[in-house]
Amino acid sequence: MNVSEKGSISSLESRGGLLAILRSHGSDLTLVALTVAVLVTMSVLNPGKFLSVVNFQSMAFQFPELALLSFAMLLAMLSGGIDLSVVAIANLCGILAAMILTGELSGGEPLGGTATSIVLAVVVAVACGACCGSLNGLLISRLEVSPILATLGTMQLFAGAGLVLTRGRAVHGFPESFLALGNGSLWGVPIPFLFFAAAAVLVWLLSSRTALGIQMRLLGTNPTAALFSGIRVNRVLFRTYLITGVLAAVTGLLMIARTNSAKADYGSSYLLQSILVVVLGGVNPAGGFGHVRGVCVAVLALQFLTSGFSMLHFSNFAKEFIWGAFLLLLMMMNQISNRRLNR
C-alpha cells in the first residue's frame, strides 16, 4: 500500500468520524449556534444593557424556575408521556407553603417560630408534590389512563384546590430568611441558580447513570419491548411521575420565594414554555431520547429571548409568536441537517 492510498484511507476514516460526531451531536451544535446568535443579536439591539452584569444576574434569578419545570417535563417525555400538571402542582405546593409561613393554617401566627415554620413549609410542599406526582403515576401506571389525559385532569384538580384554599387571592408576606431562597446570593452566586445547577446534575445522573433512567428511555422507545424484557413498567411510570411532582414542588418554593406571593394561577405560561424548551433541547416527544445538556442550552436561549424582548418592550403576544417561529426554525434546520448527513 503506497503513501497516497494510506492518506486516502486516513482521510475517509477522519471524514467518517466527523460524520458520526455530527449525527450524534448535530442538533446540540445547531441549538448552541442559535443560542449564540440570539445572544449576539440581543447584544446588538440593546447595546450596553443586555451584556451588563445586572442583566445576567437578573436572568440567573429568573430562569431556574422554568429550568426545573423543564427537567420534570424531560423525565416525563423520556418515558413516552407528558406532564401537563407541573405548573398546577408548583402553585398548589407554593400555596400550602405560603399559608404555613404566614400562619393562615395555624391561627395567624407561624407555627413554632420562623425557623420551624420554614422547615415545615418546605417539608409540606415537597410532600404535597410527591403526593400529586403519585396520583399522576397511579392514574397512568395502574389505571392505564393516557398521560396527556391523566395530567390534564389532575392539572384542573390541583388548580381548583389552589383556588379553594386561597379563594382566588394572593398569599403574601413571608419571612426575610425564606425570601433569601429566591432573591439571595451565596458567595456571589444567586441561590436559584445553585438550585438549577444541583437539579441539572441530579437529573443528568438519574436519566443517564441509573437503572431507572435507562428503563425510562427503553420504555419511551418501545413500551412492548420494555414489558417483555422484564422491566416493571408500572413501577417505572409511578416513580417517574413521583419525581416530576417533587421537582414541581421545589419550583413552587422558588417561585413564592422570588415573588413574595403565592397564587393559584401564577406562572401559567410556564407550561407551554417548558414544552417548548424540551423540544428545543432535542427531546423526542414520542419518548426515549433526550439529554439534560440540550434542555439547559434551550432554557438559556429562551431566557435570552425573553430578556431581550423585555428590553425592546415587546408585547406578550409578540413574544409567543417569535417563540413559535424559533421552534419551527430549529426543527427545519435539524431536519435539513439530518437529511444531508444521512445521504
Q: Phi-psi category of 342—alpha, beta or left, where left has phi over 0 and alpha has psi -120 to 50?
A: alpha
Judged on CB neighbours under 10 Å (0-12, 13-18, 19+), 11 is exposed
The DSSP bridge pattern shows strands 185-186 and 189-190 to be antiparallel
Compute the Cα dihedral for 277, 281, 285, 290 and give only its sign.
negative
Question: What nine digits make up the cell of 232?
Answer: 416493571
In this structure, what C-alpha cell is assigned to residue 300? 438559556
**Secondary structure (3-state) at 171:** strand
The whole-number pLDDT of residue 22 equals 39
278 in the Ramachandran plot: left (φ > 0), alpha (ψ -120 to 50) or beta? alpha
**SS3 assignment for 99-122:** HHHCCCCCCCCCCCCHHHHHHHHH
Length of the chain: 343
3-state class (DSSP) for residue 84: coil
pLDDT at 337: 63
What tens-digit pLDDT sequence spans the chain (343 residues)? 554 444 444 443 444 443 443 344 556 777 888 788 888 888 888 877 888 888 888 889 989 999 999 999 999 999 999 999 999 999 999 999 999 988 776 666 666 567 888 899 999 999 999 999 999 999 999 999 999 999 999 999 999 999 999 888 888 888 888 899 989 888 888 999 999 999 999 999 999 899 999 999 999 888 888 888 888 999 999 999 999 999 999 999 999 999 999 988 888 888 888 988 898 888 887 777 888 999 999 899 888 888 888 887 777 777 777 767 766 776 676 667 666 655 6
CA-CA-CA-CA torsion for 215, 22, 303, 216, nearest 10 degrees? 0
User: What pTM did the predictor assign?
Assistant: 0.87
Q: Catalogue all structural domains in the chain, each as residue range(s) with its CATH number.
A: 27-341 (1.10.3470)
DSSP calls for 319-341 = HHHHHHHHHHHHHHHHHHHHHHH
The 10 Å CB-count burial string (b at 16+, else e) for 14-50 is eeeeeeeeeeeebbeebbbebbeebbeebeeebeeeb
What's the confidence (pLDDT) of residue 287?
77
Is the Cβ–Cβ distance between 199 and 142 less than 8 Å? no
pLDDT of 72 reads 95
Distance CA 148, CA 287 (A): 13
Q: In the predicted model, what is the mean pLDDT of the chain?
A: 84
Query: How many whole angstroms from its chain centre is CA 100?
Result: 26
How is 22-72 classified by DSSP, letter by letter? Answer: HHHHHHHHHHHHHHHHHHHHHHHHSTTTTTSHHHHHHHHHHHHHHHHHHHH
- Cell 389512563: give the residue: 145
- 98 neighbors 262 (Cβ within 8 angstroms): yes
Q: Name, in order, each residue with C-beta under 8 angstroms of 107's C-beta and a sequence gap of 6 or more.
A: none
Cα 44 to Cα 51: distance, rounded to the nearest angstrom:
10
Give the pLDDT score at 17. 46
Cα(339)–Cα(343) distance, rounded to whole angstroms?
6
Task: Please give the pLDDT value at position 120.
Answer: 92
